[in-house]
Chains A and B, each alone.
Chain A
Amino acid sequence: MKRKTRIGLLILVTALFAAVPLILDSENSYYVYFLFMAFTYIALSQSWNLVAGYTGQISLGLHAFFGLGAYVIAIGWGKEIIGFLDPLGMVLSGLIPAILAVAIGIPLLSKLRGDYFALGTLGLGEILRLIFIQGGALTGGSAGLMLPSSSYTSMLPYYFIALFLAVFATAVTYLMVKSSLGWALISVRDDETAAAANGVNVLKYKVLAFTVGAFMAGLCGSLQAYYLFHVHPQNFFGLNWTLYPILMCVMGGVGSTIGPVIGAVFLSAVFELAKILLPEIHPIFSGVLIVLTIIFLPDGLVRLRWFRNIFEGRKTESPINLKLFTGKEK
């Protein structure tokens, strides 16, 4: 498929999703809520995809930036610095995690690689969770912060912001990857030594991808905070906010712009359906599905021939080492 056709198709799909609330009653339809969550997961998955899929740095700290973004909103709103669904507040909730990503990323990415970097980022999430639990009145401690739920008037703004975040994250990833910056990121992923030998500032590009990923994760956290009206350390710094996006990327196809989109929608649907049809054993069903995916589809749905023909036009395989998930070197 040609590049223009692909972009046209994505615009068409976005327009269709934008029209969904015109067809369905956004206040009463579960589809609208389902899509809202799926869009959030698309943005989060793209955030992880940029860092791991295109730069080769497997991060397990997405939830740290997600939770931090949520707390920026909760604290800012409590102090009356930020308002309800405040665009500037949301940008701030992306910027602060991004600044943290630079501060943490430089020592982590310069010293740690592979599994060690993954464990380092995992520790970041746990450290932040404990800091916010011990944060006293500012963070609400283990009880978290409550926001005024009376601000809620309609599902529509949430839906469109989530759609915007999904499109924004996908577009940012696509534009970065298709620019010279993308070549630098991919060269770092494929062979750091060769990239450095060719003049690529490896640390700079790793930190850049990590920072952009943190910015997007922070934005997603802020939207969830606005939606739930209760920012709680166990929830917002929960590992699920990292593990689900990783699973979605792996399911859809790591290191592909469309992979996280397909993975997020597909897995969100699987989890929802399992909960509806198999309420008592849905974790078993979802777990088995994940295991089967890793065994039979380690390169993701997007690298099946049918998807390849539409989106990639050539045979590819997952570019990153999935040793963390499969135990096997590629």
Chain B
Amino acid sequence: MMEKKICIWSGVFFLIMVLSLAGFSTVSAKEKNEILIGTHLSLSGGLAMAASEQAWAYEQATASINKKGGIFVKELGKKLPVKLIVVDDESDPGKAAAAVEKLIKLQKVDLILSGHSTPLTIPSMVTSEKYKKYYHGTTCLIPVWAGQKFKWSTMFFIDMPTFPDAAYNVIKSLPEKVTRPAMLMEDTMDGRGLGGVLRGGAEAFGYKLAVDEPWAVGAKDYSSQILKLKANRVDALLVFGSPEDTVTFIRQMKESDFSVKYLHGYKGTWTAEFKDAMGKEAQYVMCDGFWSETYPYPGAKELGAQYTKEFKKQSVSIGAFYATAQILYQAIERAGSLDSAKVRDAVIGGEFKGTVMGDVKYGPDGSAGFQVGTFQWWDGKQQQVYPFLDGSWQTKVMPPWNKR
């Protein structure tokens, strides 16, 4: 009896599967009445925390354009609303490629909005290349992206030549002098790429790194690194790592009574979850960020306020993702078409005005850079420090752990 039921349910399951897949496959046969924008985001896995902000920003940008009636597509002679389709890439490069495959073949999307981080976007862009589907990219290091010579993607991300400025200019502005900075970079594609730029920047700013080491993802014991930092009398530290690793590292710094005047975290210290995990110890810690609601750009303040109202926390990333979607939607209107080649050509070399990241200009290679920001955690908020603007926060020197 039990076996019979299992057989029946298995049959029902397969029937549902076939019908579902068939249903999705016929989407394109209908008359075009909406623009399908696909994106692969890490709804699960290690990057889920960061990608949730990206998903929210894309949804807001889409809702905003739909509120205005959608995008006018000249070729079709009408305004069409945008439908955002999100597929989970599970924070896995292989699954990210599979997700793009699904977006193109199953969901029949017109264009693709970027996923999150270099390791996930690169294989996804490779898949886009295969099917000649335009991939509107962000969060992939521009030199890594440029090295691939992709034809069907563009990139809007951190401007690498000015990347070190956000750390060393702030260090220079401290009321106390820093002489022995050090760097610990996660041994990943992003860590190595950004580490190389920060290394070069140290020399340009007249610093010699007292310690410069990669660290393994997921390591639980940082005592050897901390001993080395102590032995080299390091007084400022730049750390690139995941939130989990960075939280563990800073806790071990405190347990070892190792203090620095300046602690700048990349990737690991910017989420509100970092502040929640660290509690009072988050105070004085610096973080990177793509954007600030205090930036003097149209819609920035409102976007930040909306996020804070909804989630009771701040974000230093949503603006970049919101602007990425804004640019794509402007490009569609400019191209007057949903054709991948035409939209891509509208982005390359194009200038997009009035985004929440300001005016964005793409170069002839299809890349556009923005200045990364620096923030300091203070009373549970990320205070905007760099770029130095009117009203920017004056960075406070980190006191020793035992004097807090």
Contacts and interface: CB of A to CB of B under 8 A. Distances in A.
Interface of A: 27-31, 33-34, 37, 133, 141-144, 146, 149-150, 152, 224, 228-230, 232, 234-236, 238, 240, 266, 269-270, 272-273, 275-277, 279-280, 282-283, 296-297, 301, 304-306
Contact of B17 (A146, A232, A269): A269
A304 B8 CA distance: 12
Contacts of A305: 3
A35 to B, nearest CB: 11
Q: Chain B at the A interface: mostly helix, strand, loop or mixed?
A: helix
B227 interface: no
B242 interface: no
Interface in B1-48: 2-4, 6-7, 10, 13-14, 16-17, 20-21, 24-25, 43-44
A326 B118 CA distance: 39
Contacts of B147: 146
26 contacts: A29-B105, A30-B21, A31-B21, A34-B21, A142-B188, A142-B191, A143-B144, A143-B188, A143-B189, A149-B129, A228-B94, A230-B93, A230-B122, A232-B93, A240-B92, A269-B13, A269-B17, A272-B21, A273-B17, A275-B102, A276-B20, A279-B88, A280-B88, A282-B88, A297-B6, A304-B7
Given A142-B191, A272-B17, A275-B88, A30 B24 contact: yes
B119 A234 contact: yes
B351 interface: no
Contacts of B6: 296-297, 301, 304
A146 B122 contact: yes
Nearest to A27: B131
Contacts of B144: 143
B224 interface: no
Contacts of B25: 29-31
B309 interface: no
B189 to A, nearest CB: 4
Nearest to A297: B6
Given A142-B187, A240-B92, A297-B6, 12 more contacts: A37-B98, A141-B187, A141-B192, A152-B129, A235-B93, A273-B20, A276-B20, A276-B21, A279-B88, A283-B44, A304-B6, A306-B7
Nearest to A144: B189
Contacts of A30: 21, 24-25, 101-102, 105-106
Looking at chain A's contact residues, is the secondary structure mostly helix, strand, loop, or mixed?
Answer: helix
Contact of A142 (B4, B92, B126, B192): B192
Contact of B13 (A142, A146, A270): A270
A238 B94 contact: yes
Q: Which 4 A-B pairs have the closest CB atoms?
A: A30-B106, A143-B189, A30-B105, A235-B93
Interface centre among B13, B105, B119 (most CB of A within 10 A): B105
Which of A29, A143, A283 gathers the greatest number of chain B CB atoms within 10 Å?
A: A143
Contact of A228 (B14, B126, B191): B126
Nearest to B88: A279
Contact of B148 (A146, A269, A297, A301): A146
Contacts of B192: 141-143
A149 B94 CA distance: 15
Interface string B34-77: 00000000011000000000000000000000000000000000
B97 interface: yes
Contacts of B148: 146
Contact of B126 (A229, A235, A277): A229
A27 B133 CA distance: 13
A117 to B, nearest CB: 25
A144 B144 CA distance: 12
B87 interface: yes
Given A141-B192, A283-B44, A301-B10, A275 B123 contact: no
